[in-house]
A and B are shown apart, each in its own frame.
Chain A
Amino acid sequence: MPYEPVIGLEVHIEMQTRSKMFCACPVVDSVSAAPNTAVCPICAGHPGTLPVVNARAVEFALRVALALGCQINPVSIFARKNYFYPDIPKGYQITQYEQPLAEHGKITLHTSQGEKTIRIRRAHLEEDTGKLTHVATDWESDKRITDSADEAEKQKSGEPANRQTGKSSNEKTGQSGKSYSLVDLNRAGVPLLEIVTEPDFRSAEEVRLYAETLRALVRYLSVNSGDLEKGVMRIEPNISVRPRGSKTLGTKVEIKNLNSFRALERGVTYEIARQSALLGSGRIVLQETVGWDEGRQATYSQRSKEDAHDYRYFPEPDLPPLVIDTAWLERVRAELPELPWQRAQRLERDFGLSAAEVARLVEEKDLGEYFEQVVQAGVSPRLAFAWVTGELTSLMNAAGAGFDFSKVHPKELAALIGLVAAGTINQPTAKTVLAEMFTSGQSAANIVAARGLAQISDETAIARLVAETCAENPAEVDSFHAGKKTVFNFLFGQVMKKAGGKANPQTARALLSQALRQK
């Protein structure tokens, strides 16, 4: 029986403001910063402290919510979500429950099957948790060393008995040779936007596209770096399968620990297959939370339905209702930049690029902007696209530092492309020149002049090289005339070799075929 998956997504996105959601601590890179260096009494949950909302975080969240076409609630309410775990210093997380910041948005995806609209159920603000590192000091190994805010795991009673908690200087447990846990509160209190979709996805591809689109969006809006690996954006799909055509929903399984788009697509694919196989063999799917094991490329059970927690939500008495007045909302709306899908439409319309090409350009904000600047500098969109997404991107990738605008200025790239168009240098030379521009920062013209790379376009000179080549290779010329046309390429190569690679290839090609015809 063919099965159909029904998938909804919860995505947690850090709002990378300067300070945390409810205190003045800086938001730091939780991977590279030394543990517990961005912590104050408020985010460490000292008694007597109170939260105060970071208006900037609200504004960041509004940007995303508006971009997703959400209705913004003029009044939203913070609530306490209660549970015990050492990464949640107050014993509750401040979040929004009954009245979220935003509701009823949508996002349109361009899938291989056509357009697909995903409905956004709600988007709400909350605070991130701290990070726990479980340290195994003896033979008991623990695969999951870092607990990625994964509160599912925390609730389960099946928590490995060897796990202990402790202050960062955990002498006691450390000495006893047992495993223990280290608490890092740098991330505790970092603003988070949680975006929840309706169960509208029907394939792993749609899930990946949605996540990619959302990542592009938050980067365009300058609210998040989009580094999934660093956990600043965390995607949690819930999946059920049902016989195709069925109207009822199957049992839902939630996947955690998906730290890349690849893991996301594979995890979802795996879970669809696992559940379909279970149903296919007449068994049932258990309602549970599973984790993605990157090493085994498989999911494993983290928590069953029985361990589900009662969070005892209630309105946060320390925070008055969050009021978004029209003036504020309109200001944020007015300040929204061009969104990825708006840019895609414009590029497709104005530059005659294909949907796939445009998708490639809008994926990264900087790449698209770079492309446009190259076009503005007078290069045809097609040529600009080829250079920017081809040679330049390869260089950027090889350097491994993401797309860096400053390496080669768009005007310089345009100048280089201009040299090719003018016939001053040929394509292969241009690639060499670009590589040098990339490392040295020199302009194309300077490099070409300094290294004498300007190509020979003088027909007399090239004709002389052609004549020499034919004279030196009579056997090959004969076999060409005997019908072996592929010999042309060999002779052409010889001409270019004589020219030290600098001959204008079109001219050389034309003169060579002319010479051969005359014989």
Chain B
Amino acid sequence: MSLATLSLTQASRLLQRGEISSRELTRAALDSIAAQNGRLNAFLFVDEPGALKQADAADESRKRKAAPSPLSGIPLAVKDVLTVAGMPCTCGSKILENYIPPFTATAVKKLQEAGMVVLGKTNTDEFAMGSSTENSAYGVTRNPWDLSRVPGGSSGGSAAAVAARMACAALGSDTGGSVRQPASFCGVTGLKPTYGRVSRYGLVAYGSSLDSVGAFGRSAQDVAAIFSAMQGSDPLDATAQNLPAGEISLEAPDNLQGVRIGVPKEYFIDGIQPAVEKKIREAIALFEQLGAEIIEISLPHTEYALPVYYLIAPAEASANLARFDGVRYGPRAEAETMWDVFTKTRGEKFGDEVQRRIMLGTYALSAGYYDAFYGQAQKVRTLIKRDFEQAFSLVDAIACPVAPTTAFPIGAHGDDPLAMYLEDVFTLPANLAGVPGLAFPVGFDENQLPVGMQLMGPHFAEAALLRLAHAYQQATEWHLAILPPL
């Protein structure tokens, strides 16, 4: 059995006992990537020599009993919207082809300081705009459970990498569901932390007020370990919350007595795939068996989340992506005048979806439209936040589906951006409210595709969500399911 099949928690234990070395573990991950990436296209860049060097350093420090953390020596994949000094950062876009950032994202840096081994960069929808990883300029990533299907997105490369045992863990970013939905599609556990809980420094911005850096692992335990190490304040991010860092312990409670879980009626809508609803209901029933109290709740402004998101995120994106002009970095189109250089570079190098959202956002902010669109969207966002505040005065967590469907076939939403936008209908609200959301597998549909449940909690309640999922994973084996042979 390859060491690549070890989960982060297992690998950490064996490393600490000295039963395996980081070099062996990293070698196994690199071999797994070499064997599968041609099919899956999960990684855009693999730094084999760098990874082995970091692995050796981790082994060395462990030998000296100076390992910086239990994560030391564990291979990590990083979504290509997070910078790692010296590695390309394309954001899945031609406009950053061959761009090598001179600095490392804070979240990655904290994990590197904990001793983790960065394997390389994973595929993403261009600038994280998409729900299928089909919008990458560098080809679609395939779902390891069914190569004809998408892995979800935009962090599809990271989710697929963890599902396919190419990395013990991976980082993603979540602006409207980009960690949770691919976690669900790929049958792994993925956390979108509270806005501001993890520094955004080095995360190439899409929707700055919505973006958060999240993590993928095989289990809640895996994710808790990564999250503990990367969360916390950062002098380089003014919106990062000044919370003390600290390890989250996941002592599995004997039962969930006293835990109140809310089930929002607005999240069980027409159009939801029956198998998805069935599995979610079953998981809720299990939580009840474990002792939790299940309460039906309402998040009345849920239906506005989608239009609100598609005004705010593109508006912020239209400004965030203005810097890509071909002047200071990235490829530059040749043209006679300065303006032509700008427009030609941007017109040629940005993909359709990115251009669509830039146009949408520019329009939403334009004089005469601002109040009706961006201004109004911010007001409704406040109502959505209030929905959550009210809900969390009644319950400790909210349980619902991650997405209305399981992984869909590649090309299924090709001509229909709106259908694609609906993929995120259950995940967008958490970003608008800034609350944490956790996705984890709760079964399979009729096509043997994973179904994911989402737990949402109050601001900074990541530990509570992780503990609930951990309790669930102690009682079930969905998260241990092995990929079918491909």
Contacts and interface: CB of A to CB of B under 8 A. Distances in A.
A199 interface: no
B328 A167 contact: yes
A52 B336 CA distance: 37
A291 interface: no
B342 A48 contact: no
A359 to B, nearest CB: 44
A91 B318 CA distance: 10
Contacts, number: 121
A165 B201 CA distance: 29
A314 B366 CA distance: 10
Given A47-B96, A50-B236, A91-B322, A312 B365 contact: yes
A485 to B, nearest CB: 78
B360 to A, nearest CB: 13
Nearest to A183: B327
Contacts of A397: none
Interface string B74-98: 0000000011000001010000100
Nearest to A90: B323
Contact of A161 (B321, B328, B336, B365): B336
Contact of B101 (A46, A183, A320): A46
A320 B239 contact: yes
A84 B325 contact: yes
A49 B362 CA distance: 22
Interface in A31-57: 41, 44-53
B338 interface: yes
Given A47-B101, A47-B204, A317-B209, A52 B365 contact: no
Listed residue (A47, A86, A318) with the most chain B CB atoms within 10 angstroms of its CB: A47
B208 A318 contact: yes
B342 A82 contact: no
A53 B235 CA distance: 10
Interface in B209-241: 209, 235-239
B208 A41 contact: no
Contacts of A319: 238-239
Interface in B428-478: none
**Interface SS of chain B: helix, strand, loop or mixed?**
loop
Nearest to B237: A50
Interface in B40-97: 82-83, 89, 91, 96
B337 A161 contact: yes
B127 to A, nearest CB: 9
Contacts of A165: 327, 338, 341
B203 interface: yes
A209 to B, nearest CB: 36
A164 interface: yes
A86 B201 CA distance: 23
Interface in B295-339: 315-316, 318-319, 321-325, 327-329, 334, 336-339
Contacts of A335: none
Contact of A167 (B82, B327, B365): B327
Contacts of A80: 319
A330 interface: no
Nearest to A314: B365
B322 A164 contact: no
A171 interface: no
Contacts of A53: 238
A-side interface mostly: loop
Contacts of B105: 48
Nearest to B328: A44
Interface in B100-119: 101-103, 105
Contacts of B366: 310, 312
Contact of A159 (B89, B329, B338): B338
Contacts of B323: 45, 47, 89-91
Nearest to A92: B319
A197 interface: no
B154 to A, nearest CB: 15
B370 interface: yes
Nearest to B335: A164
Given A47-B91, A48-B89, A317-B209, A82 B319 contact: yes
Q: Which of B83, B105, B319, B342 has the most CB of A within 10 A?
A: B319
B374 interface: yes
Contacts of B96: 47
| Most-contacted residue by chain B among A48, A51, A165 (CB, 10 A) | A48
B200 interface: yes
Contacts of B238: 50-53, 318-320
A317 B316 contact: yes
B205 interface: yes
B202 interface: yes
A163 interface: yes
Nearest to B316: A317
A142 to B, nearest CB: 14
A50 B201 contact: yes
Given A92-B319, A167-B327, A183-B327, A46 B205 contact: no
Given A41-B101, A46-B102, A48-B82, A82 B322 contact: yes
Interface string A154-183: 000001010111110000100000000101
Contacts of A183: 327-328
B418 interface: no
Nearest to A49: B201
Contacts of A47: 83, 89, 91, 96, 99, 101, 204-205, 323-324
Interface string A183-203: 100000000000000000000
A163 B337 contact: yes
Given A86-B325, A86-B327, A312-B365, A52 B370 contact: no
Contacts of A159: 337-339
Contacts of B102: 41, 46
Contacts of B89: 47-48
A47 B82 CA distance: 9
Contacts of B1: none
B486 interface: no
A163 B239 contact: no
Interface in A57-91: 80, 82, 84, 86, 89-91
Interface in A310-341: 310, 312-314, 317-320
B82 A314 contact: no
A48 B236 contact: no
A200 to B, nearest CB: 28
A172 B336 CA distance: 11
Contact of A91 (B236, B237, B316, B319): B319
B146 to A, nearest CB: 33
Contacts of B205: 47-48, 318
Interface string B267-282: 0000000000000000
Interface in A1-57: 41, 44-53
Contacts of B374: 314
B372 interface: no
Contacts of A45: 323, 328
27 contacts: A41-B101, A45-B323, A46-B102, A47-B99, A47-B323, A48-B103, A48-B202, A53-B238, A82-B322, A82-B365, A84-B342, A86-B338, A91-B323, A159-B338, A161-B336, A163-B337, A164-B341, A167-B328, A312-B318, A312-B319, A312-B367, A313-B365, A314-B370, A317-B207, A317-B316, A318-B205, A320-B238
Interface of A: 41, 44-53, 80, 82, 84, 86, 89-92, 159, 161, 163-167, 172, 181, 183, 310, 312-314, 317-320
Interface of B: 82-83, 89, 91, 96, 99, 101-103, 105, 200-205, 207-209, 235-239, 315-316, 318-319, 321-325, 327-329, 334, 336-339, 341-342, 362, 365-367, 370, 374
Given A84-B325, A89-B323, 10 more contacts: A45-B323, A48-B105, A50-B238, A53-B238, A90-B322, A90-B323, A91-B323, A159-B338, A181-B338, A312-B365
In order of increasing CB-CB distance, the 10 nearest A-B pairs are A91-B322, A312-B365, A317-B208, A317-B209, A165-B338, A47-B204, A45-B323, A48-B202, A310-B367, A48-B83
